[in-house]
């Protein structure tokens, strides 16, 4: 049983997607293939699928993936949910847009593994791929993420960044959109 399975027994545990995230995806070409790593119950995947994107959502929670796949089927959305550890997902290069919403926390105990994950992801995505990263706001967290991105040695362009308040949790988040050259 995955750690989040018990939380996902409650439908829509994390609430609605961030309006700011949907606004960003509204600006993307609908022919792009999206990979949502750590998709949980599909909060973002379903909203992005409703925009007309082909989405693959990957999460370790069988409960969350089952819920997302059922919603996708009911709404006839082009979404595929896969139960997997996101670090084991083998076909990352097939995707044009990679979303990692609240995947990184950069706590001391997780820093090494998260640094490796983000660095590997930046190296593995195809040229031209767009990476959308969302983290709960803190100056230290943003500084750490930026440091990891810079240290990766991957040529990237910052396309957009913003800080916003997510009303459902009354919490601030930072989002950056980068593109691999």
Q: pLDDT for 73-127, tens place per residue?
A: 999 999 999 999 877 777 788 999 999 999 999 999 999 999 999 999 999 999 9
CA separation for the pair 158, 163 (Å, rounded)? 15
pLDDT per residue as tens digits for the range 29-85: 999 999 999 999 999 999 999 999 999 999 999 999 999 999 999 999 999 999 998
- 143: how many CB neighbours lie within 10 A of its CB? 11
Q: For position 13, what pLDDT does the model report?
A: 82
Which pLDDT score, from 0 to 100, does residue 14 have?
Answer: 80
> Which residue from 33, 34, 39 is spatially nearest to 17, judged by alpha carbons?
39
pLDDT score recorded for residue 83: 95
Residue 1: predicted pLDDT: 58
pLDDT at res. 31: 97
pLDDT at 137 over 70: yes
What's the pTM? 0.94
Cα dihedral 175, 82, 71, 178, rounded to 10, equals: 20
Does residue 39 contact residue 45 with C-beta atoms inside 8 Å?
yes
* 9-31 per-position pLDDT tens digit: 778 888 899 999 999 999 999 99
Distance between CA atoms of 114 and 141, rounded to whole angstroms? Answer: 12
pLDDT top residue among 169 and 160: 160
């Amino acid at each position: 049983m995955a750690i989040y399975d018990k939380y996902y027994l409650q439908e829509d545990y994390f609430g609605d997607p961030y309006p700011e995230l949907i606004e960003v995806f509204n600006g993307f070409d609908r022919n792009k293939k999206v990979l949502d790593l750590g998709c949980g119950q599909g909060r973002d995947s379903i909203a992005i699928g409703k925009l007309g994107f082909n989405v693959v959502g990957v999460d370790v929670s069988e409960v969350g993936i089952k819920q997302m796949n059922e919603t996708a089927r009911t709404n006839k959305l082009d979404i595929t949910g896969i139960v997997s550890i996101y670090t084991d997902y083998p076909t990352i290069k097939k995707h044009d847009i990679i979303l990692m919403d609240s995947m990184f926390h950069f706590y001391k105990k997780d820093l090494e593994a998260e640094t490796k994950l983000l660095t590997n992801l930046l190296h593995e995505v195809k040229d031209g791929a767009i990476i959308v990263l969302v983290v709960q706001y803190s100056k230290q967290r943003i500084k750490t993420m930026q440091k990891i991105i810079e240290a990766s040695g991957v040529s990237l362009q910052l396309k957009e960044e913003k800080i916003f308040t997510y009303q459902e949790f009354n919490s601030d988040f930072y989002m950056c959109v980068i593109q691999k050259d």
